[in-house]
């Protein structure tokens, strides 16, 4: 994420350069060399440990497709949503916001979808400008995530919460990508907690920003 304020005619990639390689490299580097047992460790002791490392990565791999194709699709792709191989498996209705685990269980297969997701995001960012990303809006259910707290105030915030229903908000495309970046960093932090719970050492430095840095976020450790 770029904390500077690029001009309106700059490409969207200048707002979120991390989607090119950095996010993938952080995730792949953090889980490199883990055994299946380590990837599949979960626990009902903490709220953050209900999903294993494998399932955190699966969730992340599915997320950009869900946002950019399911939610933003018709707004972004006026000539038709691009063909995506096995989109049904990526947007599986059987598994909670994760890839179809009957198809995508091996971690290398999950990482391959994650790479495709980030390539899709980079393609969208390349086709948009800073101005267009701040102008395009979408009504979404923001659920229990602290959007209003962690997104910057003012015009750059891009999150207009409905005064009559705090679960609904109009969000810009820029705010959507910021949300995706915050989701990546938060789940990467969860992966590190799952590693530490197994006596393993975290490898990458996760920026203390976004959802996991929110005031009331559960940052408990094993």
Q: Does any domain span residue 194? A: yes
Q: Does any domain span residue 137? A: yes
Q: Does any domain span residue 119? A: yes
Q: How many domains does the chain have?
A: 1
Q: Does any domain span residue 221? A: no
Domain span at residue 114 reads: 16-213
Q: Does any domain span residue 1? A: no
Q: Does any domain span residue 222? A: no
pLDDT tens for 118-130 read: 999 999 999 999 9
How high is the pLDDT of residue 154? 82
Q: Does any domain span residue 8? A: no
From the centroid of its chain, how far is CA 138?
17
CATH of the domain at 48: 1.20.120.450
Segment 29-43 mean pLDDT:
98
- Give the Cα separation of 41 and 173 in Å (integer): 35
- Give the Cα separation of 142 and 1 in Å (integer): 20
As given in the structure block, the two tokens for residue 206 are: 């996760």
- Secondary structure (H, E, C), 91-146: CCCCCCCCCCCCCCCCHHHHHHHHHHHHHHHHHHHHHCEHHHHHHCEEEEECCCCC
Q: pTM above the 0.75 mark?
A: yes
pLDDT tens for 175-193 read: 999 999 999 999 999 999 9
From the centroid of its chain, how far is CA 101?
19
Q: Rounded mean pLDDT of the chain?
A: 95
Q: Does any domain span residue 67? A: yes
- Give the Cα separation of 200 and 21 in Å (integer): 25
């Amino acid at each position: 994420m770029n904390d500077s304020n690029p001009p309106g005619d700059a490409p969207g990639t200048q707002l979120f350069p991390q989607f090119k390689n950095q996010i993938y490299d952080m995730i792949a580097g953090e889980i490199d060399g883990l055994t299946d047992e380590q990837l599949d460790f979960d626990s009902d002791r903490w709220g953050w440990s209900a999903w294993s490392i494998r399932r955190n990565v699966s969730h992340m791999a599915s997320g950009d497709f869900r946002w950019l194709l399911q939610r933003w699709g018709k707004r972004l792709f006026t000539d038709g949503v691009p063909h995506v191989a096995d989109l049904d498996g990526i947007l599986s209705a059987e598994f909670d916001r994760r890839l179809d685990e009957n198809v995508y269980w091996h971690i290398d297969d999950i990482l391959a979808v994650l790479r495709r997701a980030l390539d899709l995001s980079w393609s969208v960012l390349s086709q948009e400008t800073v101005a267009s990303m701040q102008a395009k809006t979408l009504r979404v259910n923001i659920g229990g995530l602290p959007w209003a707290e962690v997104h910057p105030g003012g015009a750059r915030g891009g999150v207009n919460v409905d005064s009559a229903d705090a679960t609904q908000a109009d969000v810009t495309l820029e705010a959507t990508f910021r949300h995706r970046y915050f989701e990546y960093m938060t789940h990467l932090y969860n992966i590190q907690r799952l590693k530490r719970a197994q006596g393993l050492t975290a490898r990458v430095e996760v920026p203390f920003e976004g959802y996991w840095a929110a005031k009331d976020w559960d940052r408990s450790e094993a």
